[in-house]
A and B are shown apart, each in its own frame.
Chain A
Amino acid sequence: MPWKWRLLLISMFVAPVILLAGEAEAQKPTEDNSCVQCHQGLGDPRVTPPAEKFAQDIHMAKGILCHDCHGGDPTNFDPQQAMSRAKGFIGKPTHQTIPTLCGKCHSDAVYMKRFDPTLRVDQVQEYYTSVHGKLLKKGDQKVATCISCHDVHRIRAIKDQQAWTYPVKVVDTCGRCHGDPKYMAGYNIPTDIVAKYKQSVHYEALTKKGDLSAPTCNICHGNHGAAPPGVESVANVCGTCHSVPAELFAKSPHQKAFASMGLFPCVVCHSNHDVMKTNDGMVGTTEKAVCVNCHDPKSVGFKQAATMRNSLDGLRESITRATAVLDQAEHAGMEISQARFELRGAADALLKARVTIHLVDPAAIQKLTDEGDKIATATRAKGVKALEDLAFRHRGLWVSVGIILLVIVGLVLKIREMDRQRERERTGDPPE
């Protein structure tokens, strides 16, 4: 056999061996690991799942294995030795000791730097400031600890879409307890919040629109230091994103009024968990309006609410009318993109007016709606002109069609004349 073929044959056998050896190398951690090997082999639902789940855990990927948390000796396959107290084996940690156990590494700045220097190391400290942490210290066995939110034995990185702490999944993670009335019996906090949040515009943004910046439980409540925001902090929490309404509110008469009555800003009108899409109906004196929850019909506030609602309604209708005309023109094939662009200005004015409601200043709102109205009226005029152009085209068409019909009539008459003439020529009759 020529040497080229011999070389090929040999490499066909050697290559797989090298590849497999490489694989074996990667599997080494758990192959010689007595914890994983025994627990996996037992097939007992009480002790096997951790070993099976662990393959997907981020700690395993970093080389941190069972004994790093639970102690013991993974090199020894004798259960007495592997799980000996003398070798540091702690078994299943108690509920109370979990934060300390995780904190052994996660609060150690020097240790964590080895893996990612930007990672925070104050989570356990923060945790003990939270309601969960405080209750845990008092001996509560049901309250959340690290593993309640981060899972255990299959902990994933936060960026992993399957992690319990991935933004989209946070509400279900918190909801495992906070949405379960039976579990939460005795704690005296509402358990309808999960259902409420899932109706909200924030949840819709998160799940349907894929907007990962939308707030979920931990954004407003904190994650490790989870606690409900107090009266003074709610506006700051909401105001992190909704900065303009928050600033305007702070300048409005409502700021002082709410503070003196111990009312939560933002929440009073917009709710906290079931924050719904706003609409103009929330302003004013009609049944669904929020203003009438406080202001009685004789008050100044009542009248101002009605005025503001009128301003908004007026501009909204103006925009609707303009849009209708533009739509009509566009549908008929006229080009009105410039007018549409300009109408955006009116929509922007409406947006500004709506946000300015938080200032509760009817004059300021009227100024904005007047600006918007001017734009909407001008745009509508452009749409009307486009429709007039269209009517001109239609008129022009009928004139042209009329002319063509005239010619066709003439042709038909001519044809008849020609045919008659031919008949006469054929039959030899004298010409007419």
Chain B
Amino acid sequence: MVPPRLVHTLTTWLDERVNLEEIRQFVRHKVVPVHKHTVWYYFGGMTLFLFALQVCTGILLLLYYRPSAEEAYESVQFIVTEVQFGWLIRSIHSWSANLMIATLMIHLFSVYFTRAYRKPRELTWVTGMFLFGIALFFGFSGYLLPWNTLAYFATKVGTDVAGQVPLVGHLITRILRGGADVTGATLSRFYGIHVAVLPLLMTGILGLHLFLVQKQGMSVPIEVEHSGRPPKTMPFFPNFLLRDLVGWLSALAVLAALAAYFPWELGTKADPFAPAPAGIRPEWYFMYMFQTLKYLPAKIGPIDGEFIGVMAFNLGGLFLLLVPFLDRRTARGEKSPLFFWLGVGIVTYIVLLSVLGYVAPGGK
């Protein structure tokens, strides 16, 4: 491969100009604690890998994609049929998006249940929650871009729900849609959000998140922390990184297999004048919210059921965002059964409602 002499020459050249010693030291000394919950450490890096994959496949896609209502669908069709390996790039991009959000959620809840959000890592948790929101928005905005029937109506419903936020809801919907309805203007906006706004935000907040993790090192479970003994560790370079790579390459193999055997469908071109087809559903990561809204009655007392649902989700999100500051027991280093069971409740709710979203017979 790359001859070691060349590498040596290059690093010496850089060293004379930019002192690399600090980096070398950091790399040499970065360690990862080893205990029964070490396996969860892989999920943050996996999410990062999948995000990098998204950026690469996304850039490749935008070389051919056209963000207008007249051309979007056909340009995706063009990518999938005419461009060499376009089918592969597109399917990997769509599947990896879902996989990334799945690993992100595993990462989120593993951090939650190991209570790694406690001091001094509150900021890491907060930035992480923002990253979660950005990822969901990435998924929501990207979903519309192929401009097919399912995407069109999912966006309609989604932006309607956003309108339920009190006071500013109507304004939010108008800004998101670029008008009163979902049109080509919405597509342009979502495209700009998806390829420029969110990547910028993501870069900034992800940078902060990663910096904090490097600076503070990995959190260990409270029991290990309190055992008194220093935890067993392994060096990040190369031991943990090699293991990371095994995970990342496995994910890549899975994505390639999905692209070949379960290619992401094209759908039919969106027709704003056609009635909504039966069975429109959002992607699985929004399913639990969608299903909840279906179950809520039209009115609870004098208030809209949908409004209550949206407020409940907002409060849930807020709760998660502020959990490091709300969980006093963990802050004191004690067991925190309330927050444990709240976490279990949230996960159960999400899983249950998502499953129901797929198996329950038609909505109201």
CB contacts (< 8 Å) of A337 on chain B: these are 77
Report the bound CA distance from A418 to B256 in whole Å: 29
Contact A411 B261 (CB under 8 A): no
B201 within 8 A of A: no
CB contacts (< 8 Å) of A397 on chain B: these are 256-257, 259-261
Contact A422 B235 (CB under 8 A): yes
CB contacts (< 8 Å) of A332 on chain B: these are 263
Q: Do A400 and B256 form a contact, CB below 8 Å, given A408-B249, A411-B249, A422-B234?
A: yes
B80 within 8 A of A: yes
Interface residues of B in 75-111 (CB under 8 A from A): 77, 80-81, 87-88, 91
A254 within 8 A of B: no
Partner of A405, one of B88, B234, B235, B253: B253
Q: Which of B43-51, B236-244, B270-278 binds A? A: B236-244
CB contacts (< 8 Å) of A405 on chain B: these are 253
Q: Do A394 and B243 form a contact, CB below 8 Å, given A333-B265, A335-B77?
A: no
A263 within 8 A of B: no
A47 within 8 A of B: no
What's the minimum C-beta distance from B85 to chain A, rounded to whole angstroms? 9
Give the bracket for the number of chain B residues in contact with chain A: 20 to 34
Complex interface bits, B247-273 against A, C-beta within 8 A gives 1, otherwise 0: 001101100110111111110000000
A152 within 8 A of B: no
Complex interface bits, A291-318 against B, C-beta within 8 A gives 1, otherwise 0: 0000000000000000000000000000
A412 within 8 A of B: yes
Residue of B91, B234, B249 with highest tally of chain A CB at under 10 A? B249
Report the bound CA distance from A252 to B259 in whole Å: 57
Contact B87 A411 (CB under 8 A): no
What's the minimum C-beta distance from B73 to chain A, rounded to whole angstroms? 12
B347 within 8 A of A: no
Q: Do A411 and B81 form a contact, CB below 8 Å, given A394-B261, A404-B249?
A: no
B52 within 8 A of A: no
Contact A415 B246 (CB under 8 A): yes
Contact B263 A415 (CB under 8 A): no
For chain A, the count of residues having a C-beta within 8 Å of the partner chain is 21
CB contacts (< 8 Å) of B238 on chain A: these are 414, 418
Contact A412 B249 (CB under 8 A): no
Contact A408 B242 (CB under 8 A): no
A195 within 8 A of B: no
Complex interface bits, A336-351 against B, C-beta within 8 A gives 1, otherwise 0: 0100000000000000
What's the minimum C-beta distance from A210 to chain B, rounded to whole angstroms? 14
CB contacts (< 8 Å) of A419 on chain B: these are 234, 239
Report the bound CA distance from A422 to B234 in whole Å: 9
B20 within 8 A of A: no
CB contacts (< 8 Å) of A394 on chain B: these are 260-261
A407 within 8 A of B: yes
Report the bound CA distance from A419 to B232 in whole Å: 13
Report the bound CA distance from A393 to B262 in whole Å: 12
B356 within 8 A of A: no
Report the bound CA distance from A393 to B265 in whole Å: 16
Contact A401 B253 (CB under 8 A): yes
CB contacts (< 8 Å) of B259 on chain A: these are 397
Contact B242 A335 (CB under 8 A): no
Partner of A393, one of B235, B250, B252, B260: B260
Report the bound CA distance from A397 to B262 in whole Å: 12
* Chain A residue at minimal CB-CB distance from B265: A333
Partner of B242, one of A401, A404, A411: A411
CB contacts (< 8 Å) of A401 on chain B: these are 253, 256-257
Contact A414 B250 (CB under 8 A): no
Report the bound CA distance from A335 to B262 in whole Å: 14
* Chain B residue at minimal CB-CB distance from A419: B239
20 additional A-B residue pairs with CB within 8 Å, beyond A333-B265, A337-B77: A333-B87, A333-B91, A335-B80, A335-B81, A393-B87, A394-B260, A397-B259, A400-B256, A404-B250, A404-B252, A404-B253, A404-B256, A407-B249, A408-B249, A408-B250, A411-B245, A411-B246, A418-B242, A419-B239, A422-B234
Seen from chain B, the residues whose Cβ lies within 8 Å of a Cβ on chain A are 77, 80-81, 87-88, 91, 234-235, 238-239, 242-243, 245-246, 249-250, 252-253, 256-257, 259-266
